[in-house]
Amino acid sequence: MKQRDIFIAFFRSSMLGYGGDVLAIANTLPGPIATKMAGYIGFRIGGVPGMLNAVFATILPTIILMIILLSTLIQFKDLKWVQGMTKAVVPVVAVMLTVLTWEFVQSSVKGLKWFFTTLHILVALVLIEFFGIHPGFVIGALLVIAFVKPTNTSVKRNKQKGLSI
């Protein structure tokens, strides 16, 4: 009963969250806030199965709508206006990715400064483009390095305690 209630609650909120204006359309994919809230609340109510259930219920409406949208688009893909529409989306996505990339760079510079940010960008570029390593592995390696590498605050804390690294 509890798992079914979790599923229905998050499925319903995700279905009703699908709006008609431009902002709602942009937010139809499950965002970090919705999925994190669903995961947290589902975990608190039903443990790991509740978490998985709530997250699945949150993303299921989007999956269904994307299948319907893409199925419809495939049926009309040979029409000129559909081809024009899909071609028009490419530059918009390129601009959005450029803006997102610049925001990531600015955020990275705050923590790593320009030298290390540039170094990370160049190393990632070489690994992905020239060695053909999947971006997920590069990101995973950087996350492991960031997790294992001591931060300045932990180094200062250990020096205050008399510990050395």
Tell me the C-alpha to C-alpha distance, in Å, between residue 19 and each of 23, 25, 29. 8, 6, 12
Check residue 159 and give its pLDDT: 62
Mean pLDDT, rounded, for 140-163: 71
The domain limits of the chain are 1-75
Condensed to tens digits (0 to 9), the pLDDT of residues 45-60 reads 999 999 899 989 988 9
Instruction: Record the pTM.
Output: 0.46
Mean pLDDT, rounded, for 124-140: 93
**Which of residues 158 and 75 earns the better pLDDT score?**
75
- Give the separation between CA 145 and CA 119, rounded to whole angstroms: 14
- Give the separation between CA 121 and CA 43, rounded to whole angstroms: 37
Contact present, 63 and 71 (Cβ < 8 Å): no
